[in-house]
Amino acid sequence: MLWLSARIGSSFLKRRLSLKEGVREDFSLILAATLTMLGLIIGFSFSMAISRYEQRKNYEEEEANAIGTEYVRADLLPAADAARVRALLRNYLDDRILFYRTRSEQQLRQINANTAQLQSELWAAVKTPAAAQPTCVVALAISGMNDVLNSQGYTQASWLDRIPLAAWGLLAVIAICCNLLVGYGARHPEAEGILMLILPTVVSISFLLIADIDSPRGGVVLVQPRNLLSLAQSLQAQ
């Protein structure tokens, strides 16, 4: 699409509105300003995508820490309740790992349903002994379970937080305008060949990279559940 815009500028617009030498300097100033604006918006969008990617990585680490801490704090509960909490936490951990790895929307819906069910069971497993023995020691187990549940909510919100469609629309419009101007300002026929592909290719690669980083489940750059997997291996060793 961007290459086609450049071709339209170099052929259709140049025939209809020929660029005189007297206004070429002003045109070059407008072209430079437009390209600068495109570069700035691409940079800001890339920064937004990177910050969201880093946020998703940080929340994965927080989830692993919260689950691991609560697994240890289960010792503060009565033996029978502690065994149940630990069994539920192991199932919950497996479910969270699947959340990070799946790319299927149907499987994701099932994972979310299982997560909600496990969260209800986990809370019930710590609420019953806490009501029977409302001590400061048992309160630590309640606090740890709160962290487990809250960390999943933060992760869910960060995965839904994407670059707005309006921003993508603005990027597309400015990129098309830039390529129209580049084609319109081409002075030599040779520039309409291979040189006319440079800007569309570079801008398209930039868009591809931004979209890849901004997509939690698509593309190549994904958040891997390394901390959750390490925790699962540690629990299996125990």
What is the tens place of the pLDDT at every residue in 169-193?
999 999 999 888 888 777 665 555 6
| Whole-prediction pTM | 0.83
Burial tier of 79 (Cβ tally within 10 Å: 0-12, 13-18, 19+): exposed
Neighbours of 225 (CB within 10 A): 21
Mean pLDDT (whole number) for 18-27: 68
Which of the four pLDDT bands, split at 50, 70 and 90, describes residue 43?
very high
Please tell me the predicted confidence (pLDDT) of residue 8.
82
**Residue 148: both structure tokens together:** 């487990």
Residue ranges of domains in the chain:
2-47+163-214, 63-161+225-233
Q: What 8-state DSSP symbol labels residue 11? A: I
H helix runs in the chain, sequence order: 2-8, 14-16, 24-73, 79-101, 105-132, 136-160, 165-184, 198-214, 226-237
Which of the four pLDDT bands, split at 50, 70 and 90, describes residue 130?
confident
Which of the four pLDDT bands, split at 50, 70 and 90, describes residue 131?
confident
Q: Distance between CA atoms of 181 and 204, rounded to whole angstroms?
A: 17
